[in-house]
A and B are shown apart, each in its own frame.
Chain A
Amino acid sequence: MRKRTKAGFAALCLTLSLLVAGCGGGGQNAPEAGASGSSSQPKEENVTLKLYLVNNANLNLEEVHRKFEEKYPNIRLDYEGAPVDQFETVIKTKLASGDAPDIFTVFAGTKKDPFVNAGYLLDLSDEPWVQRLTPGAIRSASKDGKIYGLPRSQNVIGVIYNKKIFKDLGLAVPTDWQSFLDAAHKIKDSGVTPIGLGLKDQFVTQLIPYAMAASAIYRDNPEFDGQMAEGKATFVGSAWEKMMADYVDLEKQGLTNKGVLGTANDQVLQLMSSGKVAMTVSLNAVVPALKAANPELEWGMFPLPYVEAGEPIWVSTGPALFAGAYAKTKHPEAVRKYLDFVASPESMKTILDATQSFSIVDDVTPSLDAALMEIEPSLKVGTYAFLDQNWPAAVQPQMFVGIQGVFAGGSVNDMLAKMDEAYKEGNK
């Protein structure tokens, strides 16, 4: 009995001391945080900016940051990068818990709107760099006439092709849909897979329809998105029906690799870099990746010619945003200095050269791969933004699943009806 009491007492002491230690730890942190906050006050200079950015593409930010810290020795950059899916989940938690970084990746188009509506983003409309942006870049960074992010580049969807295969077969770059199909058939007859398509990765599903829609819908009716928002147009009954039929037909005619739904994008790129696939419809960023995989091969890029012979081909392009700022940041001045520095022609060129993408400001010309220079003139014919930039957020995920479903044998009408449903729900 006595013994047990003693043991119990000892345990009690131990537990209490643990608890006290736990509290002590918390207590120590609090004044420390306060101290660092107050110590920066009197000096008024030493500031640490927290950055949380998507790092899927290599932006060569080390270079930009090194130069920034040289220019502003009093501003320290605390950079953290994350892959895009991780970023999307973590940033919401950070914002909700009040532990927000000063600067974080903002997505272009409607995908940023929930962040704006929640009041998390700083209004950047009065920044000097806004004047230099192209109209498309401004559109993708704004909501209700105000700018909430610094755009960094313009991405392009086009047909990336193996120049040697085209040359050996005597093929010219096709400029209408029929000649595109004819070229593909010729490639197929020579024993090479004409078109690489890796639909196992959901993002790949959208590339061909986006490239088609620029010419098939928006060239003749730039107001289509506006009409959809007003409820005057729907996916069902639009050019989407024909587009999807032609899209699936590529596989049915045997112009793609076998088993498109079971093939991932990486696997397509491997097949391309080993010369087993002649073309793929993809983003400009794929060109440097292919180059790295096999420096021997020469690549070109042309706009997907989803048009009748003689008609102008429009290109699907998507301005990408670099980042925006937290509305309640403690260091708005340092944040502005940082974004202004990134927007400088020198930094912009560093980023564009690293990502091999097109400029969104008038005064910067990046050094691009020859393949990308090939498609560059087409951008002047006409472009339309990646479609999800103008859709309510729920439409794109619905489309991903829908397109896979159509390739697995589902009906196009079901897919489009579901997209309409998601659009209406999100547009409320």
Chain B
Amino acid sequence: MRRTGIDGVFLLPAFLVFTIFLAYPVLSSFYYSMTDWNGLSPTIDFIGLDNFRKLAHDKDVWKGLQNTLVIALLVTVLQNVIGLLLALGLQKTGFVQRLLRAWYLLPALLSPLAIGYIWSYMYNPQFGVINTILEFVGLSGWAQDWLGDRRLAIYSVIAANLWQWVAFSMIIYVAGLQSIPRDMYEAADIDGAGAFSRFKNITFPLVAPAFTVNIVVTMIVGLKLFDIIFIMTNGGPGGSTENLAVMLYRQAFALNRMGYANAIALLMFAMILVFSLVQIALLRRREVEY
């Protein structure tokens, strides 16, 4: 009896912080999504599910949803594949490996704002360094308007984002790889296993916890990617890089549709929740005890 009382006191600060800074805003977002509030007017009209009905018929939202999924998928796959490959290459603790690990991690320490600007300049179609190099090595046919081409822009942004964050996944994989007991590999050597077989049968199964963390984190980050898109293209050209996060910002603050923006936010919330739950359930099953 006394114990539950004391436990309750321990929980109180966390509970208060959670309620005030998370539960209350999230729940009020539910409320605002059912209003036509413009972000300014003192009167707020309750309009039921109208915003959600509009959402279902809004072509821009469907396009935004598609962009969101493309970004999330590519960010997850590329960041994990490249991150794992880098980690495999750099898992030894020699001087060069440690130096390169720190080197690759540098972009993750920079502000996405700065990175967005730098890459915008590198992608510039006329004097950007990427096209300049392509022309220099005789591949001028490959030169593109990287951020201005409707089909390319989204991949250009994903590439910049990948450059920034790939080492973040790499570091988690390095830690995961280093926690694999040496004797497993020794046993495999004695059994005459080749490099691929060792990866398939030892490394890959045993790096699973790092895999779970990385996949879930990159997926969530990919689904709600905002800053670098906002800086590099602001959703353009013509909405071709606008994902739900950029769209909800534009709806809320450029178009003054606070209620509608909240409805989009809820759609994102539901999507991220479902994706995360499914992923965790699937990936946990793959993890092995050792």
Interface residues of A (CB under 8 A from B): 5, 8, 11-12, 15, 18, 85, 88-89, 92, 95-96, 114-115, 117-120, 199-200, 202, 257-264, 267, 271, 393-394, 397, 401-402, 404-410
Contact = CB atoms under 8 A, between A and B. Distances in A.
Contacts of A261: 145, 147-149, 236-237
Contact of A397 (B127, B149, B255): B255
A114, A117, A401: which has the most chain B beta carbons within 10 Å?
A: A401
Contacts of A85: 253
Interface of B: 2, 6, 9-10, 12-13, 38-42, 120-121, 123-127, 145-150, 153, 233-240, 250, 253-257
A7 B124 CA distance: 63
29 contacts: A5-B2, A15-B12, A96-B39, A96-B40, A115-B40, A117-B41, A118-B40, A199-B148, A200-B120, A200-B233, A200-B236, A258-B145, A259-B125, A259-B148, A261-B149, A262-B123, A262-B124, A262-B147, A262-B148, A262-B153, A263-B148, A271-B126, A397-B255, A401-B235, A401-B236, A402-B238, A404-B236, A404-B237, A406-B238
A264 B236 CA distance: 12
A115 B144 CA distance: 44
A96 B42 CA distance: 8
A397 B250 contact: yes
A85 B254 CA distance: 9
Given A12-B6, A271-B127, A405-B237, A262 B40 contact: no
A402 to B, nearest CB: 7
Nearest to A418: B60
Contacts of A117: 40-41
A203 to B, nearest CB: 10
Contacts of B13: 15, 18
Interface of chain B: mostly helix, strand, loop or mixed: loop
B259 to A, nearest CB: 13
Nearest to B41: A118
Contact of A92 (B39, B149, B254): B39
Given A261-B149, A263-B125, A405-B239, A119 B6 contact: no
A262 B127 CA distance: 11
A263 B146 CA distance: 10
A11 B12 CA distance: 12
A95 B38 CA distance: 13
A207 B254 CA distance: 18
Nearest to A406: B238
A202 B236 contact: yes
A108 B163 CA distance: 42
A200 B238 contact: no
A262 B125 contact: yes
Contacts of A394: 255-257
A5 B2 CA distance: 9
A11 B8 CA distance: 12
Contact of A401 (B6, B127, B148, B238): B238
A377 B257 CA distance: 42
B231 to A, nearest CB: 11
A258 B125 contact: yes
Given A114-B256, A394-B255, A409-B150, A263 B41 contact: no
Given A401-B238, A404-B237, A262 B256 contact: no
Contact of A114 (B41, B121, B239): B41
B238 A259 contact: no
A118 to B, nearest CB: 5
Nearest to A408: B150
A267 B121 contact: yes
A221 to B, nearest CB: 28
A11 B9 contact: yes
Nearest to A422: B255
Nearest to B152: A262
Nearest to B233: A200
Contacts of A409: 150
Contact of B255 (A89, A258, A393): A393
Contact of A408 (B123, B125, B237): B237
